[in-house]
């Protein structure tokens, strides 16, 4: 057992308030996580400029190189974690022990984060559309086409209120460091492991300690970041999304409600796309916002639902140590039952049928040892009006919704990732024009197959920098 203190500008701060972090199954205390307070965060935000100043001692190119070193260290080295040290294997074991996520998926998410770190140069080039790096550092500069441009940082640090559901979400804040913007993070209560490990990898690679602060703690910590940071991202529920909608200082990442839609031109060949649908629903334990939560088609929906349910019935609870494990255990008592009851409630609307019931004997909650698991679930909805036609849960869950193609785009509602199986040019154009779709995939792309060179729920560069006018000479006469 070791202590994981608060990190304030890279310095350990021993809080008087600590929370025991226990193994979800055995109850063994694995670590004591020190708790920050909202007041502490607010005070530090007033000193946040030091984070940016520390990073500006290095060029963006230098920082990108350090990110590459950090990727290797994060993936392969023994790194400090508070007063302890963790090898990559120990790190995965710990993460799995507090989140219930299978160890193999912990390792998969490590590789995902490391990939973004090691390809940081390409990521930055893609997000900035090839902007010379010195323009971000200096605030202005001449592009190769001879145009003066200015990008002014909107904040010295990026705040982030992070979740515990999927360790892959940490890819989103990583590019801040090479862009010379510091980090003030509130890690999730169960999945604080990744922010701490990446931070230590950054430090070991030579990123200045003043650049990063980590504040595990209660709601007041998140509140402090959201109220006082100039730019903050938050991961949360639909309620969280509504609460911060329209606030330019907050980038909200809520449920994804990601979807696959089958166009009328290809829906009769749905079996060719079965693997894409199943993987989109179940990959990474179905816990992410990029997992597909609904599949829309105008016909064959019952057969599609049946085939997905049959295929996903092979996914069963396995020990977290089993390399084939996909399902995450429910680490909080009563949560699995509560989610299952919500689904049962949704089934009462007259449009919906639990197609998976035949495969799991009507019991959606599986048990392994003391742990509970929500078993993969497929709901057939005969109408987009069904309550479960647009629902998202943190396990392999999808509804297969019967809906005419001409109503589909409107019916799917806000959608983070939409994979459209169609070659119909007219429908493709309509999808391209749809405002309710964030990431659009046309063709054989799983919803979970993200290209990190693409922006995700807004472009981080546009969030952290303001493209404004700058002149140091008069314009041409006109």
Partner 1 sequence: MAMVDSAKIAAAKDRLDQHTVETIHWHFSPETGSPFWLEKAKTFNFDPLKEVKSFEDLKKFPHFEDDWLRGGPISRWVPKGLAGKPVYVFETGGTTGLPKSRMVIEDHWIDYEEFSKTLDDKWFPPGSNWLMLGPSGPRRLRLAIEHLAQYRGGICFCIDLDPRWVVKLLKQGRIKEAEDYKNHCIDQVLTILKGGHDIKCAFMTPKLLEALALKLIDNGSSIAEEGITGIFGGGTEFSPQWYRYCCEELLGPDVFMTPTYGNTLMGLACSKPFDPADNYKITYHAPQPRAAIEVVDFKDYNKVVDYGQTGRVKLYTMTKELFVPGFMERDEGERELPCDKFPWDGISGTRPFHEIAKSTTVGVY
Residues that bind partner 1 (CB under 8 A): 15-17, 35, 37, 39-40, 42-43, 46, 223, 227, 243
Cα dist from 70 to 77, 122, 166, 178, 183, whole Å: 10, 16, 21, 12, 16
> Least distance to partner 1 from the beta carbon of 42, Å?
6
The nearer residue to partner 1, 247 or 451, going by C-beta atoms, is: 247
Beta bridge partners of 153: 465
Tokens of 192: 């604080």
- Which residues, 6 or more positions from 138, have their beta carbon under 8 angstroms from its beta carbon? none
Query: Of 69, 49, 51, which is closest to residue 213 (Cα–Cα)?
Result: 51
DSSP 281-346: HHGGGG-STTSEEEEEESS-HHHHHHHHHHHHTT-----TT-TT--PPPB-STTHHHHHHHHHHHH
The nearer residue to partner 1, 39 or 335, going by C-beta atoms, is: 39
Backbone angles phi, psi at 9, to 5 degrees: 50, 45
Tokens of 390: 């647009």
> Least distance to partner 1 from the beta carbon of 15, Å?
6
> Least distance to partner 1 from the beta carbon of 146, Å?
42
> Least distance to partner 1 from the beta carbon of 186, Å?
16
The nearer residue to partner 1, 46 or 348, going by C-beta atoms, is: 46
How many CB atoms neighbour CB 323 within 10 A? Answer: 9
The nearer residue to partner 1, 93 or 227, going by C-beta atoms, is: 227
> Least distance to partner 1 from the beta carbon of 226, Å?
9
> Least distance to partner 1 from the beta carbon of 228, Å?
8
The nearer residue to partner 1, 37 or 90, going by C-beta atoms, is: 37
Tokens of 251: 């980038």
How far apart (Å, rounded) are the C-alpha atoms in residues 234 and 337?
27
How far apart (Å, rounded) are the C-alpha atoms in residues 464 and 406?
38
Beta bridge partners of 159: 184, 232
> Least distance to partner 1 from the beta carbon of 223, Å?
8
The nearer residue to partner 1, 219 or 324, going by C-beta atoms, is: 219
In degrees, rounded to 5, the angle at the alpha carbon of residue 337 between the alpha carbons of residues 334 and 338 is 80
User: Residue 458, exposed/middle/buried by CB under 10 A (0-12, 13-18, 19+)?
Assistant: middle
- Which residues, 6 or more positions from 326, have their beta carbon under 8 angstroms from its beta carbon? 102, 105, 282, 285, 315, 318, 396
Beta bridge partners of 420: 261, 442
> Least distance to partner 1 from the beta carbon of 173, Å?
23
The nearer residue to partner 1, 14 or 344, going by C-beta atoms, is: 14
The nearer residue to partner 1, 42 or 68, going by C-beta atoms, is: 42
> Least distance to partner 1 from the beta carbon of 350, Å?
32
The nearer residue to partner 1, 40 or 135, going by C-beta atoms, is: 40
């Amino acid at each position: 057992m070791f202590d994981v203190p608060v990190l304030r500008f890279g310095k350990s701060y021993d809080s008087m308030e600590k929370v025991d972090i226990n193994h979800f199954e055995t109850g063994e205390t694995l670590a004591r996580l020190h708790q920050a307070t909202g007041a502490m965060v607010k005070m530090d935000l007033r000193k946040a400029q030091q984070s940016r100043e520390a990073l500006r001692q290095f060029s963006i190119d230098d920082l990108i190189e350090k990110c590459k070193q950090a990727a290797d260290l994060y993936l392969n080295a023994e790194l400090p974690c508070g007063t302890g040290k963790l090898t990559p294997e120990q790190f995965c074991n710990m993460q799995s022990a507090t989140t219930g996520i299978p160890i193999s998926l912990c390792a998969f998410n490590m590789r995902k984060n490391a990939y973004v770190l090691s390809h940081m140069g390409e990521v930055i080039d893609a997000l900035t559309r090839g902007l010379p790096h010195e323009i971000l550092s200096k605030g202005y500069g001449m592009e190769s086409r001879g145009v003066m441009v200015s990008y002014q940082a909107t904040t010295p640090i990026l705040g982030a209120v992070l979740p515990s559901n999927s360790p892959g979400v940490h890819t989103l804040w990583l590019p801040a460091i090479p862009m010379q913007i510091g980090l003030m993070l509130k890690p999730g209560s169960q999945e604080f492991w990744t922010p701490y490990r990446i931070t230590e990898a950054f430090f070991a690679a030579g990123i200045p300690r003043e650049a990063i602060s980590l504040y595990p703690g209660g709601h007041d910590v998140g509140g402090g970041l959201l109220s006082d940071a100039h730019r903050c991202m938050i991961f949360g529920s639909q309620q969280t999304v509504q609460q911060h909608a329209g606030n330019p200082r907050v980038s909200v990442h809520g449920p994804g409600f990601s979807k696959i839609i089958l166009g009328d031109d290809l829906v009769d060949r749905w079996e060719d796309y079965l693997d894409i649908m199943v993987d989109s629903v179940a990959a990474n334990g179905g816990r992410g916002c990029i997992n597909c939560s609904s599949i829309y088609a105008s016909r064959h929906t019952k057969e599609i639902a049946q085939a997905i349910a049959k295929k996903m019935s092979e996914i069963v609870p396995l020990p977290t140590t089993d390399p084939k494990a996909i399902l995450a255990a429910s680490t909080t008592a009563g949560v699995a039952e509560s989610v299952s009851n919500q689904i049962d409630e949704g089934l009462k609307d007259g449009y919906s049928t639990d197609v998976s019931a035949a495969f799991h004997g009507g019991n959606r909650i599986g048990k392994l040892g003391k742990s509970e698991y929500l078993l993969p679930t497929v709901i057939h909805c005969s109408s987009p009006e069904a309550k479960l036609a647009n629902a998202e849960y943190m396990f392999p869950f999808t509804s297969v919704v019967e809906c005419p193609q001409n109503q589909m785009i409107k019916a799917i509602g806000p959608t983070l990732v939409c994979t459209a199986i169609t070659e119909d040019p007219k429908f493709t154009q309509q999808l391209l024009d749809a405002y309710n779709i964030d990431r659009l995939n046309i063709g054989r792309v799983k919803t979970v197959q993200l290209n990190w060179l693409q922006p995700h729920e807004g472009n981080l560069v546009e969030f952290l920098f303001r493209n404004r006018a700058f002149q140091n000479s008069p314009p041409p006469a006109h």
